[in-house]
Structures are given as structure tokens and as C-alpha cells.
Amino acid sequence: MAISRARKEELLESYRQQMAQSSGFMMAEYTALNVAQLQDLRHKARGQNAEMFVVTNTLFELLLAEMGVTAPKELLTGPTIVAFCHNDVPSMAKMFREVAQGIEENRFVIKGGMIEGRLFGAAEATTVANLPSREELLAQVLRTINAPATQVVGVVAGGIRQIMNVVKAYADKLESAAGASSETAEAAA
């Protein structure tokens, strides 16, 4: 069934809005997925703070052309799903990889995507999926920042422990000397 010109404009505007709000997107070709699988895929995409659309290849190609990006033909063939990532693309790439592994072969095939205005193909999608997510990167940075502080705390605490041990040893020595002198005083009396 043909799509009216007004509907095409509406879809194209929707794609533009999603592209403006996103840091990139992931693309996949899907065949013979049932409604439940598509709904599950959309639910997982929302969990990654992404919006997923079944796109019209020619309209999506037009959107990319407006951005000054020429997409290879293999990215825009067959039934295509595009997930616009509002947080980070690597977490979406990981989710796409997990979905592709959980579905029969060739029913969900990752085509590629875009990060920071740069298109990548299926081969690079694996590399993107292996990138750490934003949260993982932040955790690594915090560990790096905290490591010197943790070491300083350990050194200071070690010094304090040594001083406390010396004071305790001195107090024990004084106690034992006081105890020995009181025993000699009692024996003399």
C-alpha cells in the first residue's frame, strides 16, 4: 500500500526530531519477527533510553542526505529497524547483539549505525558493541580518581596505627613496671 505524501512528510519530520535528540543510532534488518518479538525489542530499546522505528529506506536515505551523509546501499535494503539512541550507542549495540544471538539466524541482522555523525557498517558494529557504556566509563574514571586518595588514606592510617602501637607498648611497659613495684612494696610490708 502506497504512503501518501503527507504521511511521508510526517514520518520524515519524526525521523528528524529523533535524530536531533539522539547521539546516534543502530540499524538492523528484520525478517519474520512476530508482533511479540517486535514489542519486546521496542521495550528493550526504551530501557536503553532509545526510540525504535521501522523505517522506510528511501525516507531514511533522504534524512541522511539532508545531514550530508551518503549511506551505502547495503544499509538501506530490506525491512529496516532504526533505534535512535538518546544516551549512548554502545549500550544499544550490545542490546542489538544480544537480540541477534537470541533469534534464529538471519531473522535479525545488524546492519550498522551512526555515532557522532559517522556511519559504520556491520563489521564495526561488533567493535561498537564491545565499547564500554557511559556508566562503565564513568566508573573507570572515578576509580582512577579515587585510587591516589585511597593510597594516601592507607599510608596515613598505617602511620597512625604505628604510633598507636608504640603508645600501647609504652602504656603496657608502664603498667607492668607499676605492677612490679607494687608487688615489691607489698612483699616488704
- CATH code of the domain covering residue 125: 3.30.70.1730
Distance of CA 181 to the CA centre of its chain: 70
Grid coordinates given for 183: 608487688
Same domain, residue pair 126 and 143: no
Number of alpha helices (DSSP H) and beta strands (DSSP E) in the chain:
6, 5
Same domain, residue pair 90 and 126: yes
Domain membership of residue 108 as a residue range: 5-131
Q: Which of 87, 105, 131 is the last residue of a domain?
A: 131
Q: What is the pLDDT of residues 103-130, one digit of tens each?
A: 887 888 999 999 888 899 888 888 888 7
pTM: 0.68
Q: Are strands 24-30 and 80-85 parallel, antiparallel or unpaired?
A: antiparallel
- Buried-exposed string 70-94: b where 16+ CB fall within 10 A, e elsewhere: ebeeebbeeebbbbbbbebbbbbbb
Angle between helices 5-21 and 57-66 (to 10 degrees): 50
What are the E-state strand segments in 19-107? 24-30, 50-55, 80-85
Q: Which of 131, 158, 179 is the last residue of a domain?
A: 131
| Range scoring the smallest mean pLDDT among 35-49, 106-120, 161-175 | 161-175
How many domains does one find in the chain? Answer: 2
Same domain, residue pair 33 and 88: yes
Same domain, residue pair 118 and 39: yes
- Average pLDDT for residues 134-157, to the nearest whole number? 78
Same domain, residue pair 21 and 100: yes
